[in-house]
Amino acid sequence: MCRWLAYSGSPALLQEALYSPAHSLIDQSLHSRLGAETTNGDGFGIGWYGAGPEPAVFRSVDPAWNDANLRDLSAHVTSPLFFAHIRASSGTAIQRTNCHPFRHGNRLWMHNGLINGFHALKRDLVLDVDPTLYPSIEGQTDSEVLFYLALTLGLEDDPPEAVAGTIGLVEAAGRRRGVDHPFQGTIATTDGERLWIFRYSSEGHSRSLFLTTDIPTLRALYPRMALLETLSDDTRLAVSEPLGDLAGAWNEIPEASYAVIAGGEAETLPFVPPRGSQARRPVHVAGSWPA
Amino acid sequence: MCRWLAYSGSPALLQEALYSPAHSLIDQSLHSRLGAETTNGDGFGIGWYGAGPEPAVFRSVDPAWNDANLRDLSAHVTSPLFFAHIRASSGTAIQRTNCHPFRHGNRLWMHNGLINGFHALKRDLVLDVDPTLYPSIEGQTDSEVLFYLALTLGLEDDPPEAVAGTIGLVEAAGRRRGVDHPFQGTIATTDGERLWIFRYSSEGHSRSLFLTTDIPTLRALYPRMALLETLSDDTRLAVSEPLGDLAGAWNEIPEASYAVIAGGEAETLPFVPPRGSQARRPVHVAGSWPA
Amino acid sequence: MCRWLAYSGSPALLQEALYSPAHSLIDQSLHSRLGAETTNGDGFGIGWYGAGPEPAVFRSVDPAWNDANLRDLSAHVTSPLFFAHIRASSGTAIQRTNCHPFRHGNRLWMHNGLINGFHALKRDLVLDVDPTLYPSIEGQTDSEVLFYLALTLGLEDDPPEAVAGTIGLVEAAGRRRGVDHPFQGTIATTDGERLWIFRYSSEGHSRSLFLTTDIPTLRALYPRMALLETLSDDTRLAVSEPLGDLAGAWNEIPEASYAVIAGGEAETLPFVPPRGSQARRPVHVAGSWPA
Amino acid sequence: MCRWLAYSGSPALLQEALYSPAHSLIDQSLHSRLGAETTNGDGFGIGWYGAGPEPAVFRSVDPAWNDANLRDLSAHVTSPLFFAHIRASSGTAIQRTNCHPFRHGNRLWMHNGLINGFHALKRDLVLDVDPTLYPSIEGQTDSEVLFYLALTLGLEDDPPEAVAGTIGLVEAAGRRRGVDHPFQGTIATTDGERLWIFRYSSEGHSRSLFLTTDIPTLRALYPRMALLETLSDDTRLAVSEPLGDLAGAWNEIPEASYAVIAGGEAETLPFVPPRGSQARRPVHVAGSWPA
């Protein structure tokens, strides 16, 4: 169910993160080692920041490993902050609007995992989306509905709280509709400056998530590694699974945690979705809906 | 805003209706004469009945004129009842799930036209769809929402009443949200035996719709036309615009009318969507939605 | 480097061979067990005989496992003789004209394997194609060049001799250009009535190839198996790798052999490409090319 | 038969040339005014120079008007030199490898027009391509063969002479094979610094080609036009047809001419392909081809 990568740091050619590493994201599209499936061939997407506050997004239904445009773009686009995602569909159609990352204004969002019983929960969750945001939903995926719920709950002000509230809503809907363990996965989101990554599942057994060690520490560990000299101090990479085997480089984000990365600093904190009366559904549902 | 064709009668190779005529549907994909646009290049679809009660559907995002698979299939598939549709998007994404015809069980549905202000009306209309049908909506189009509303309102029992009720709901939503003339277009639907076609617009100025004269009458008019000998008495073709210029062959369906075609017989009747208290929203909205 | 299936026998829904078996061809697109790669996701194609002498061909660049059109067609098309192929590109572009099966007149052709050093040999081989056939080559693959060489050398008269001559040309070109072991693979071809399958490699270590046991023998082995009752006596399936584990059902075609299947009878014979002065290049090369 | 645009000058967002003008190239994909067809919907491509000497290329089979990736890229990519092309196929397949611009090393190439009787001439022309270049031909188009012939004849040293020699070969092949008026069209090529554009047809009635007036002259004509202030003195745009109606801005390149544009300076000269013994076929054909 998908693999992803989020890069923040010194401006880099996309191909250096997407194609060059031994176990690069493109390699993972055919040979994922930690994913739910080994093949992630149901489309892909990249999003990057450059000119202007809004990121560019390039998404396609082709498998990442055979897309000539992705290869060419990755060899020519440089960015200090970019997302990349390879998709393994859990059933929804293979179409560009179902590919990650999703964009709204200056925000990007991507997700690995699923909402269990989404068929049963979808209508409840879509109704909780702010009616003014609702018509902007383009695809069919659980991941995009999660994004619009988070936007509804204040993603632009406080991402950790908005994402927690979103998953609280999913879990509340699951209890209402008799779906066990409704949420599973990892999420990455950014405003073009800071990066937030989340790892959580209702059953307490989440998809993997890793964050690289800070560059000064890695340089001290590997004083002769040329690659490290080319990267700025604030460079960080968050990934579904490591791109290589360098000891000390890949740190697993613990179960039920999130991290915020800014200026190369990363802070990891517990992630606890609200429950019960705290998982309140947005009031617009009653308010904005004329009988 | 799309062109379409619905064929019912003696089993025919699809290409005879799609490619052979002077002004065939494929020709209309580049050179529509009566459409809102001359080019209908944003995908296409065909649906046909053969083995089993459920129709086959083949849909693609390529322009119909250059799709090699469509050309090959049309040269090899024979059917007594088939739909074909070429799309000109009014803004939604170019993806297979937005291409017509739409299918549900043994039903096909296609539409030419649009819901004005769909962005403003979409949430209301989607909420009126039966919650058990709701998760089956795959794409983003107004046309598919119309189909699911009609299914909600009894398309499987009484198509004219279900379609009238559907457009009544659209017009009621338009009044509620301040959208003038919310519905525009023509619709075709079938259960694999009978064919229903509709022409209506809220402003009283609808997209064109034509039905061929019955074959016995055409044979009397053109006793030496070989093509007519190959067609069974009950063959009828309904189209957005005529495929040729044969005098007496193409009959315009009047404004605000519908026709039901069965066994070669066609009956044309007035089409009047319900208004006011008659355009009642489905009760499931309150009933099935737990607070 | 690809997997394929060739069916001949009682008219069958394509999905029964493509989707239903435990280890169906669609399953092999994600999880091939005997192929050079586990994933065969670089497009697919099917070809089938029905109305008329020429087969229909449907090919697409999407992975077979996620193509909704393939799923739908397979559930509606019935044929007594069909080919299906899933592609793992050995470097050439992902485009419809590189997908198998290839068609010329009433012939189909598909191939699993490769010409080693094709980059170095391609011009020689393409020059050997009959100049009147040359402009019909549409794609870039070694497989299609093999087909046109075989057509040049009499595929329509004597398939085993034409295919042997073709591989003789490939091996002669390899010797000329210093390429070891130039040919590798299995080939299937048909005229809509008979089926020829080939297994050969220059190094004597070929891709796998299997042919099912005849139906009367299987019925005697498995008197209570309902599926066997639905198949006519002359039904045979040739595959790159078995679709299941039924003991006695799947017979490996030996190294350096070919089989001709007609009316349910299969004859397996040695396959020996000509060498030396016997591997003569077509005379048109000098004759038809004005200085 | 295609439309194209070549931009050279102050670094510009691609969308300013592709989408913003009244009669932009994207508008021409639906509504060409001077082309052989009004619709150019059989794929598109862009090529641009940025990081490194080799240009990036993004090509797709979708119609340019509905491609969401093209729209997004054009809003984020800035370049001082870029090509864009929209395709109307003259019969070859709709596939990425048939889309312009073509790239070889640091060169781009695009073409509007066709080789008449290409089916009859293709083998002769392909044989004239340098055998070491031959395997790099990826698609089926006449346009790509022209590019490889020009590379064979010295495009990297002297573009006008190489292009003249190429068309000389086409015309000689036409005479040999009985094809009248074999070449028709306009061509653009660049090395990332200079730009060459050609207009020629064997019958003396070529597709249109325009070059913008130099910026200082336009500023003198339109002292209050804000757009002109944002463009550097050396900005030039070459197009199949004008993007607007500004008097004095669009200069037709005469029949049988070419222009070389460098540093904002444009020189227009007669274009005369060699004939008779001067249109000599490359010697490699005999030399490099062992009997």
Cβ contact A84:A46 at 8 Å? yes
Res A284: pLDDT: 62
C251 pLDDT more than 70: yes
Q: How far, in Å, CA of B143 to CA of B45, rounded?
A: 14
d(CA D17, CA D189): 18
Confidence of residue A37 (pLDDT cuts 50, 70, 90): confident
Chain C residues whose C-beta sits inside 8 Å of any chain D C-beta: 93, 95-97, 119-120, 122-123, 126-127, 131, 134-135, 138-140, 176, 289-290
> Which residue of A39, A42, A66 is in closest CB contact with C94?
A66
- How far apart are the C-alpha atoms of C211 and C100, rounded to whole Å? 20
Are C131 and D123 an interchain contact pair (Cβ–Cβ within 8 Å)?
yes
Order of strands across the sheet with B107-115? B102-104, B107-115, B183-190, B195-201, B257-262, B265-270
Does pLDDT of A286 surpass 60? Answer: no
Q: Which residues of D touch C126 (CB under 8 A)?
A: 126
- b/e sequence D128-164, b meaning 16+ C-beta within 10 Å: bbbbeebbebbbbbbbbbbbbbbbbbebeeebeebbb
Question: Which chain B residues are closer than 8 Å to A138 by Cβ?
Answer: 93, 140
For residue A178, the tally of other CB atoms under 10 A from its CB is: 8
Q: By percentage, how much of chain A surpasses pLDDT 90?
A: 88
Picking from A44, A66, A99, A140 by the largest number of C CB atoms within 10 A of its own CB, the best residue to mutate is A66
Nearest chain B residue to A141 by CA: give it: B138
* Chain B residues inside the 8 Å CB shell of D26: none
Query: What is the least distance, in Å, from the CA of B31 to any CA of chain D?
Result: 9
In this predicted structure, what is the pLDDT of residue C1? 64
Q: Over 50: is that where the pLDDT of C82 sits?
A: yes
H or E element at residue C30: helix C25-31
Inter-chain touch C176–D290, beta carbons under 8 Å: yes
Peptide bond connecting C101 to the previous residue in cis, omega within 30 degrees of 0: yes
When pLDDT is cut at 50, 70 and 90, the band that residue A282 belongs to is confident
Would the CB atoms of B138 and A135 count as touching at under 8 Å? no
Asked if C96 lies within 8 A of B56 by C-beta distance, the reply is: no
- pLDDT-derived band at A244 (thresholds 50, 70, 90) equals very high
State the DSSP code for A153: T
Cβ of D93 and C93 within 8 Å? no
pLDDT at C38: 87
| Rounded Cα distance, C71 and C16, in Å | 11
By mean pLDDT, which of A232-241, B71-80, C32-41 is the weakest? C32-41
Q: How many CB pairs under 8 A join B and D?
A: 34
Chain C nearest C-alpha distance from D257 (Å): 31
Query: Tens of pLDDT along A67-89?
Result: 999 999 999 999 999 999 999 99
Which residue's entry shows tokens 């060899």? A75
> Chains A and D: how many Cβ contacts under 8 Å?
43
Lowest mean pLDDT segment, chosen from A27-36, A152-161, A174-183, D273-282 = D273-282
Measured CA to CA, the distance from residue B209 to residue B6 in angstroms comes to: 11
- List the single residue in A66, A68, A89 with the smallest CB-CB distance to C66: A89
Chain-chain contact of B41 with D39 (C-beta, under 8 angstroms): yes
Q: How far apart are CA C130 and CA C165, in angstroms?
A: 14
Residues on chain B bordering chain D, Cβ-to-Cβ distance under 8 angstroms: 30, 38-39, 41-42, 61-63, 65-68, 89, 93-94
Angle at the Cα of B171 from the Cα atoms of B168 and B175, rounded to 5 degrees = 135
Who wins on pLDDT, B279 or D161?
A: D161
- First-to-last alpha carbon distance for chain A, in angstroms, is 40
Predicted local distance difference test score (pLDDT) of residue D291: 33
CA of B43 vs chain D CAs: smallest distance (Å)? 10
User: What are C191-248's pLDDT values in tens digits?
Assistant: 999 999 999 999 999 999 999 999 999 999 999 999 899 999 999 999 999 999 999 9
**Confidence band of D180 (pLDDT split at 50, 70, 90):** very high
Rounded distance between C-alpha atoms, residue B137 and residue A20, angstroms: 40
Task: Provide, rounded to the nearest whole percent, the portion of chain D with pLDDT above 90.
Answer: 88
> Interface partners of A (3+ CB pairs, < 8 Å)?
B, C, D
Mean pLDDT rounded to a whole number for chain C: 93
Question: Is there a contact between D135 and C123 if contact means CB atoms under 8 Å apart?
Answer: yes
Taking the CA of residue B196 and the nearest CA in chain C, the distance in Å comes to: 24
Sign of CA dihedral A202, A208, A214, A220: positive
Which residue did the predictor score with more confidence, D290 or D135? D135
D220-249 as b/e: b if 16+ CB within 10 A: eeeeeeeebeebeebbbbbbbbbbeebeeb
Tokens of B85: 């549709």
Which residue in chain C is spatially nearest to D129 when comparing CA positions? Answer: C123
Q: What does the pLDDT average to over C138-148?
A: 97
Between CA C76 and CA B14 the distance in angstroms is 15
Q: Is 90 exceeded by the pLDDT of residue C40?
A: yes
Judge whether C79 and C9 are in contact, CB under 8 Å.
no
Q: What strands, in cross-sheet order, belong to the sheet with A78-86?
A: A56-60, A44-48, A78-86, A3-13, A236-239, A210-212, A250-252
Q: Which residues of C touch A89 (CB under 8 A)?
A: 66
Q: What is the pLDDT of residues C12-26, one digit of tens each?
A: 999 999 999 989 999
Model pLDDT for residues A250-271, shown as the tens digit of each residue: 999 999 999 999 999 999 999 9
Question: Cα torsion for A95, A96, A100, A105, to the nearest 10°?
Answer: -140
Residue A200, beta-bridge partner list: A185
- DSSP annotation of A213: P
What pLDDT was estimated at residue C283? 64
For C55-81, the pLDDT digits (tens) are 999 999 999 999 999 999 999 999 999
CA distance C46 to C82: 7
pLDDT(A289) > 60: no
Q: What is the mean pLDDT of chain D?
A: 93
- Is D69 within 8 Å of A69 when comparing Cβ atoms? yes
Return per-residue pLDDT of chain B as tens, 291 residues.
699 999 999 999 999 999 999 899 999 999 888 887 889 999 999 999 997 899 999 999 999 999 999 999 999 999 999 999 999 998 899 999 999 999 999 999 999 999 999 999 999 999 999 999 999 999 999 999 999 999 999 999 999 999 999 999 999 999 999 999 999 999 999 999 999 999 999 999 999 999 999 999 999 999 999 989 999 999 999 999 999 999 999 999 999 999 999 999 999 999 999 987 777 778 664 434 333
Omega before residue B101 within 30° of 0, cis: yes
Size of interface A-C (CB pairs under 8 A): 33
The answer to whether A210 and A244 are in contact (CB under 8 A) is: no
**D7: which DSSP letter?**
E
Side chain identity, residue B129:
V
Torsion angle defined by CA atoms of residues A230, A231, A237 and A241, in that order, rounded to the nearest 10 degrees: 30
What's the confidence (pLDDT) of residue D285? 45
Residues of C in contact with B75 (CB under 8 A): 56
Q: Which of C37, C94, C95, C99 to mutate to test the interface with A (most CBs of A within 10 A)?
A: C94
Chains with 3 or more CB pairs closer than 8 angstroms to B?
A, C, D
Instruction: Name the interface residues of B facing C (CB cutoff 8 Å).
Output: 13, 48, 50-52, 56-60, 68-69, 72-73, 75-78, 96
User: What does the pLDDT read at residue A1?
Assistant: 64
Give me the residue from A50, A57, A73 closest to D56, CB to CB.
Answer: A73
Give yes or no for a contact between C48 and C5, defined as CB atoms under 8 angstroms apart.
no
Mean pLDDT score of chain A: 93
CB of A162 closer than 8 Å to CB of A154: yes
Q: Which of B125, B140, B43, B102 is nearest to A138 (CA)?
A: B140
Mean pLDDT on A238-256: 95
Which chains touch C (3+ CB pairs under 8 A)?
A: A, B, D
**Nearest by Cα to B231 from B6, B3, B9:** B9
State residue C165 phi and psi, 5-degree precision. -60, -40
HEC string for B77-140: CEEEEEEEEECCCCCCCCCHHHCCCEEECCEEEEEEEEECCHHHHHHHHHHHCCCCCHHHCCCC
For an interface test with D, which of C62, C95, C144 has the most D Cβ atoms less than 10 Å from its Cβ? C95
Span D63-70, mean pLDDT?
A: 96
> Does the structure show a pLDDT above 80 at D11?
yes
Contact A62 C30 (CB under 8 A): no
